[in-house]
Structure 1
Amino acid sequence: MAQPAPDGPLTELDLTNSHLPSLEEVDLPQSLTSLDLTANRLRSLEPCLLALRGLRRLSLRQNLASDVAEVEALSCAPALESLDLRDNQLKALPCLAAFTALRYLEVSYNEVRSLAPLSALGGSQLTELYAACNKITAIESLGALSQLQVLELGGNRVRVLEGLASLALLQELWLGRNRIAEINDGLAALHSLKRLSLQSNRLTSMAGLQHCTALEELYLSHNGIEQLEGLESLANLKILDVSNNRILRLEGLDSLQLTDLWANDNQIESLDEVEAALRSQRGSMSCVYLRGNPCAAGTDYRLRMKFALPRLEQLDDSPVA
């Protein structure tokens, strides 16, 4: 939908779901600062688009673009703050050296294999980078992205947790559905990190999390973790998801004040031990998932959990009355 400024030229244009195979018959005035071309059939960034100089926000999500050279040729590069290329046919990242104002970059659901072109960003102000569901094998070339706050690399082929040392301001790191086998010191510099997802990897240990003292949400489901560890220093943690692992007992929670614990589908045997482990959470915990463990099989399970956690609102799939 076109949105002209009051008594002025057109600055925003939304052409979402317009089924456009081309822009030949579309009027794109030079006054545009925001252009949304989501869900069309564009294969090329045509001259009328390349010529726009004042764009600050451009979305080409869900199109058929494949030529990175066309992205690099955008005349708006020095002004562009937000670029959305999600769900196209890109096999590589464009060189973004000219995009000096860029703060938001979305390139998920393409066929990108390397983050190396990001090194051309230099002293970039980029704060959000989304590159999920590509074919990326390594976390690399992020050294200059010191302002980055959100990094999404889920659904790739990353094996080693590395290349993050310069991201001291990072607050969210999403690495689910990769091939990471250990944490080690890969997160040691991330003292501002609040949300971390390593779901569906190949972890057998939680060792290495102790450096992330600002963590509020931790997602580790669908791994091979056998015990809870390294939680003592995570005093800000509120949500812990360790479901679908091989955990035998709940432990190491005494220093935490969790609101949500997802520990379903593990191998936790004793409900007595669960009650003891959660005693420190009586004043905070409102949501617990333990189904799929032997400890949740007894007929008194639900009643005992309600008594153990007086603030409980959700137990497994059912609200607590």
Structure 2
Amino acid sequence: MGPLEEELDLTNAHLSSLETVPLAENLTSLDLTANRLRDLEPRLLALTGLRKLSLRQNVLTTAAALEQSAFAPVLQELVLHDNHLSQANHGAPNLATMTSLTRLELSYNQIKSLSPLSVCRALSLRELFVSNNKISSLEGCRHFTQLTLLELGANRLAALDGIASFPDLRELWLGSNRIAGNPSLSCLMRLERLSIQSNRLCSMGGLCLAATMRELYLSHNNIQSIEGLDNLVQLRVLDLSNNALHSLDGIVHLQLLEDLWLNDNQLKDLHSVVQVLVKLKAHLSCVYLAGNPAADDDVSYRQLLPQLLPCLQQLDSDAVPGR
């Protein structure tokens, strides 16, 4: 059979059952996104060659049956995003038999603990998505030491105990948690993208970020000064909006910076702000400054910055005319 017969996309087909759906024995990819499936039916579980399975946006309350599926040892990508897991035991499915997984999506469920994953032997797992659950600890996933992406946004994390278990992380997403203090990430020497937006940080100095960083998102905290960026010379995106900054000391060496979000802080002196931005003009294409006292004279800074920043294409929410 050809590739079209090996891949079946039933997205938004309004299915509450697979009873009338032909399932070829040699299916390698099955997308059941946005249906009404409540159960994992025997015909699905009997498939032997599935490498990719998406059950996103259904109404599953448990995924335990997947552990006994015929395709469990060969499945590489599993998407259970936006279901109702696990209303009974509030834990992630253990997926013990899925030894080949490289990507697992469990976001937007009711999961309180990742502990059941501790028996999952998918040691080649690279990407794990568990945002918008009720997780308070990394316990249960620390053995996934080859992770390159970890998405834990919108959970109940107050600390990052165990983060050193993931030395290969390139992306770490922690927005909308309860992280306070100065969590050190010095162990993540390959990290390129980090989000700790909407947490409880008062300082950024203790993060100890690697020189590999490309994007850093720290908006909606209570950060009062810019610090700890001395070695981040590869940084392209810096989001410090909705904090308590009074100055831009600490960023003039970020010569590759393209996007700089500073809106809704306490920056008062437009002249001082402009002096810093001009030193970053080589690549700076997007600047957000609205919501600061320095931007109260709307006409002044909107006329001034495009003249001084030759690469500027966006100022606040508006495109720069003629660019």
Does 2:312 align with 1:317?
no
Deviation at 1:202, TM superposition (A): 1.0
- Asked whether the 8 Å contact 1:201–1:223 carries over to 2, the reply is yes
Q: 2:40 & 2:61 partners in 1: Cα distance?
A: 10
SS at match of 1:275: helix
Structure 2 distance, partners of 1:21, 1:279, is: 59
Contact in 1 for aligned 2:98/2:121 (Cα 8 Å): no
What are the equivalent positions in structure 2 for 1:38-187 lying under 5 Å apart? 38-91=33-86, 92-122=91-121, 124-185=123-184, 187=185
Root-mean-square deviation (CA, aligned residues, Å) is 1.6
Q: How far apart in 2 are the matches of 1:235 and 1:150?
A: 22
Range moving further from structure 2, 266-275 or 63-72: 63-72
Shift, 1:41, TM fit: 0.9
Maintained 8 Å contact 1:11/1:34? yes
Q: Provide the rounded CA distance (Å) in 2 between the counterparts of 1:293 and 1:23.
A: 56
1:97 shift after superposition: 2.2
Q: Distance in 2 between matches of 1:124 and 1:38?
A: 26
1:1-50 residue CA offsets vs partner (Å, 9 max, x unmatched): xxx516xx931111111111112222223211111111111111011111
Q: TM-score, normalised by structure 1?
A: 0.94
Deviation of the 1:314 alpha carbon: 1.3
**2:216: which partner in 1?**
218
Question: What's the % identity of the aligned pairs?
Answer: 51
CA distance in 2, matches of 1:210, 1:284: 25
SS at match of 2:275: helix
Match of 2:302? 302
Which residue in the other structure is 1:35 paired with?
Answer: 30
Amino acid across the alignment from 2:187 = A
Q: Return closer, same or farther for 1:201/1:301 CA change in 2, 3 Å cut-off.
A: same
- Mark the runs of 5 or more structure 2 residues left unpaired by the alignment: none
1:19 to 14, 22, 28: 14
- The 5-angstrom pairing of residues 247-262 of structure 1 reads 247-257=245-255, 258-262=257-261
Query: Are residues 154 and 131 of structure 1, via their aligned partners in 2, closer, same or farther at CA, if it must alter by over 3 Å?
Result: same
**CA distance in structure 1 between the partners assigned to 2:31 and 2:103 by the alignment:** 15
Q: What aligned pairs does 1:206-285 form with structure 2 within 5 A after superposition? A: 206-257=204-255, 258-285=257-284
CA contact (8 A) 1:123 1:145 kept: yes
For 1:200, the aligned partner's letter is: S
Q: For residue 199 of structure 1, what is the aligned residue in structure 2?
A: 197
- Retained in 1: the 8 A contact 2:168–2:190? yes
Paired amino acid for 2:242: N
SS at match of 2:53: strand
C-alpha distance in structure 2 between counterparts of 1:101 and 1:135, whole Å: 26
Q: Which residues of structure 1 form unaligned runs of 5+?
A: none
State the 1:123 CA deviation: 5.7
Of the structure 1 ranges 9-18 and 98-107, higher mean CA displacement relative to structure 2 is found in 9-18
Distance 1:80 1:113, change over 3 A: same
